[in-house]
Amino acid sequence: MAPTLDFLSGSPVTVVGLLLVVAIVYLSIYPVPIGSHEPPIVRPKVPLVGHILGLFQHSWAYYGLIFEASNREPIVTLPMLRGKVYVAPDPDLASAALRNRALSFDPFLRDLITGIAGAKPATVKVWDDAAFYRAWVKILYDNLSGRPVLALNISAVGNVAENLNSLSVGKVEVGNLYLWNQKMFTLASMNSLYGSENPFRKDTSLVNTYWTYEDNMHRLVPNILPAVFASRGHRARQLLNKAFTSYFDADGHADPSVPPFTRDRRELTAKFGLPPSEAAAIETIVVHGAVSNSYPTYYWMFTHVFSQPDLVARLREETAGVLEVTGESIGGKRVVRLHVDRLEERCPLLTSCFREAHRLRAKGALARHVTADTTLSDGGKRTYAVKRGTQVHSPQGVFHVSRELWGPDAEEFVGDRFLELAAAAGNKSAATFSPRGFLGLGGGKHICPGRGFASGEILGSMALLVSGFDVSGPDGGVLEVPGATEVVLTATFGKPRPGSELRGVISRRAGLEDVHWEAAA
């Protein structure tokens, strides 16, 4: 009689359980191979899945726990199932990873297109086309630097100015400063990028829709029945897709108010045969790139700055140098222009505050795929092999708040920290000086292409607020800095902790009640 597989004829649960046991036994007998020159291994307490469970439980903070548990090894290997991840809490090795051309962020972008944007296979095929991707990247870098990005910044900061101009004279009580700023900042960004016909201007509820999408993005990544397991994020994504499909259907990108950055990208996707609905899917990633990190940086900078009255006073002295009293009037109000192009040169303290907010609050991980066997060196005696097909994660939450790197006040907001560090190093610019251990915007060939747009909008928005407005707590006292939530695996920044005091009062500064604010070059 021929042998049978009757032992597999039980319930599906029994079969799955049996196969799982077999897999665990097999993987335990044949563990992930680690070469002699690879970083030392940290084995999980729970075989195979322990580190995965640790990440799910603690998010990126897990890497800080690993750093301490490994006696502060500069880089370690974490086996996960049949793969492995290298974790580099050492800032020199992290910088080396960002510079190494064998390490790439591109595969993560592809994952975003499939899992987070929900693009169809045909769209992913276009994305994988080298000609398309080269043209896409060229559009990004051509339009996010120099004069084009200055135009975007002036537009965005001008939109913030319009919002602030609409505030009534007297004290304006704000029920939630986080959400108030979020709406103002997001709309300013979208108006700058998508022009007068943009979906967010037509339907401001899309601001909440996007941030619901962002808040649930980590549930969308697995891309397994998202309508069931990530229903809120899935629904928000559908609404964003519908809005941008209508925008492209109506040729909203061709409106004269739309910058080349947006118009050229839609012309490219159309050239490669992508319909409006699939161009809209990709656009959700562009929206995400525009505000997901820039708004949190702005919010935490806003909160820290206005919680320190002495710092506000110093900043006001500085921002006076980028303001022009025009002698013109609009609606009976004096026109004062903020010159966005002068901010980094004339406002080093403001720039230092921006970078300090990023240092203190950015607690994600800089991740890169290893596309070929290579080595990472800390610039000294230590060199480690990293293998093709793995990933290198550099946790900002470790080296950004390291006392060894930043001193005993590493976990405090010190507005002039970067100014003082630059001066001590003989560097005249707080904007360009890069102290060891600061990797706020990535680095190497994959440094954030939108950093100029983000920094200009943040600096300009804060310069307007500091120059023309007072911000206090609900009782008129100093603004309180809320605690932050844990950073989820698809994010870099935490949000205000539930239960935090987020109320505040905004008012025009005495003597500036009759000012109409504008942004210009």
- The CA distance from 451 to 480, in Å, is 28
| Amino acid (one-letter) located at 228 | V
Instruction: For CA atoms 74, 78, 83, 85, give the dihedral sign.
Output: negative
Distance CA 12, CA 4 (A): 18
Whole-number Å distance between alpha carbons of 133 and 507: 47
In angstroms, what CA-CA distances link 16 with 9, 19, 20, 21, 80?
Answer: 12, 5, 6, 9, 20
Name the token pair of 431.
Answer: 């904007």
Write down the residue that tokens 């032992």 correspond to. Answer: 7
- Residue 286: φ, ψ to 5°: -65, -45
What crossing angle do the helices spanning 294-306 and 348-361 adopt, rounded to 10°? 110
**String of b and e for 11-30 (b: at least 16 CB within 10 Å)?**
eeeeeeeeeeeeeeeebeee
How do the residues of the chain divide into helix, strand and coil, expressed in percent and rounded to 5? 55, 15, 35
Alpha helices in 112-230 (DSSP H): 121-128, 130-143, 146-165, 177-194, 199-202, 206-215, 217-220, 226-229
Annotated binding residue at 353?
no
Cβ contacts of 156 within 8 Å, gap of 6 or more? 188, 189, 191, 192, 453, 456, 457, 460, 461
Strands 383-386 and 374-377: antiparallel
Annotated binding site for heme: 448
Annotated binding site: 448
